[in-house]
Amino acid sequence: MVVRSHGGHIQPLYGIGQEEQLPEAILGHLPGYRGMGPVRVGNQAQEHFQHDVYGNIILAAAQSFHDHRLFRRAGRAEFLHLEAVGQQAFRLYDQPDAGMWELRTRARVHTSSAVMSWAACDRLAKVAATLGLPERIRFWRERADIVRERILLEAWSEERQAFAESFGGRDLDASALLMAEGGFIDPHDGRFVATVDALEKALCVGPDMHRYEAPDDFGKPETAFNICTFWRIDALARIGRKAQAREIFEVMLKSRNPGLADAAGGAPHALRGLDDDHPALRRALVVRHLPRHPGRSLFGRNRHVLAAAVAVVASAEAEKS
C-alpha cells in the first residue's frame, strides 16, 4: 500500500484482497448483537481521511530497522518509501480528518492524528540515526519539533485544563492518554497529569471509560470502551498512581470472558465490550502477537491490555525490591 500510494493518500482500511472499494450497505432484516443494529456489510471508512494512518504505518515498520533479531533488517531502500509516508504525515498534521474513531459526520484537526504525525517524524529521525544519515536526522527532527510545538500550543485547553480532542477545541477524548506512552510528553508533566484528572472526571463511570464526550453520529455517548480503560490504567501507572491502576486492572480482569480476555467483558455499563470489532480494538488485539524490540513503544491505536499489565506488574515488582 505504501508503494502503491506514491506518497499520497492512504485509506484507513482495505479489503483482505487489497480492494480499495468496500461499499457499505445495511442489512435491515438482521437485528444485530443484542438488538443493537443496524447490521452493516462493507465499511464506509474506506472513504475517510484519517491522518493518523501515516504514523501508524511508520510505527509498525520502524522496528524492522532496529531489531537485531530479524534475519534481514530494513535498510535505505525501505527508508525512502517510509519518508514519502512521513512527508504526507507532515503535510496533513494540521488538517481536519475523521479521527481515530472514524467519525462519519464531522471533521476536525484531531489531536490524536496530529500526535501520530509527530510520531511519524520522530521515528523517521530515529531510523535515520540507525542508518547513519545525519542530514535526514536533522530533517525529520526539525519537522517533529514543529508538529510538537503546534500540538502543545493548539491542543491545550485552558478552560478544561487538559489536552482537548482537537485543535482549539474543548471536548475531551480518551486518546489523549496515549500522549505519554509514545514519548510525546513526559508523564509527570503537569499538563499530562491534569489531562488524566480531567478525563477521569469527564469520561469515567467507576472503572469504565468512555471514548469521548462530544455527541457523535448516534448522539451523546452512553457506553464505555474497554480499551480506553486500559489506556487509563497505563496512564495512571505512568504518573505514579500505581495502586489505583492496579485496582482498576484487577476489576477488568475479573470481567473478562474465556473467548476474548482483553476486549469482551467489562461491567454492564460497558455492555460487555460494545463494538469489540472496532478497528482500534482489532489492531490492539493483534499487536500482542508481534515481536517487540526492547525499549520500543507500542504507541498508537496498537495499545492493549498487556501494556497496562506490564506497567502495573512492573511497578509492583519495583515496590517489592
Query: For the segment 271-316, what is each residue's pLDDT rounded down to a tens digit?
Result: 334 444 444 443 443 333 333 443 344 444 443 344 444 444 444 4
- pLDDT tens, 177-188? 999 998 999 999
Answer whether residue 257 shows pLDDT above 60: yes
Average pLDDT score over residue span 10-19? 72
Residue 262: pLDDT over 70: no
The closest alpha carbon to 66, from 135, 141, 144, 127, belongs to: 127
Res. 267: pLDDT tops 60:
no
Residue (of 49, 170, 41) closest to 102 by Cα position: 49
For residue 23, the tally of other CB atoms under 10 A from its CB is 10
Q: Which is higher by pLDDT, 196 or 317?
A: 196
Q: What is the pLDDT of residue 153?
A: 97
pLDDT of residue 221: 80
Q: How sure is the predictor about 14, in pLDDT bands with cuts at 50, 70 and 90?
A: low
pLDDT tier at 15, thresholds 50, 70, 90: confident
pLDDT of residue 47: 66
Written as nine digits, the cell of 6 is: 506514491
Give pairs for 266-271: CB < 8 Å, separation 24+: 266/208, 266/224, 266/226, 266/229, 267/206, 267/207, 267/208, 267/224, 269/205, 269/206, 269/208, 269/223, 269/224, 270/208, 270/223, 270/224, 270/225, 270/226, 270/229, 271/34, 271/36, 271/223, 271/224
The pLDDT of 220-225, averaged and rounded, is 83
pLDDT tens for each residue of 96-126: 998 888 777 788 999 999 999 999 999 999 9
Name the residue with higher pLDDT: 316 or 240.
Answer: 240
Mean pLDDT of the chain: 80
Q: What are the C-alpha distances in Å from 6 to residues 10, 19, 86, 247, 312?
A: 9, 17, 12, 48, 42
pLDDT score recorded for residue 133: 97
More confident residue, 8 or 27: 27
Maximum average pLDDT range among 32-41, 46-55, 159-168: 159-168
Report the Cα 232 to chain-centroid distance in Å: 13
- Strand 162-163 vs strand 204-205: parallel, antiparallel, or unpaired? unpaired
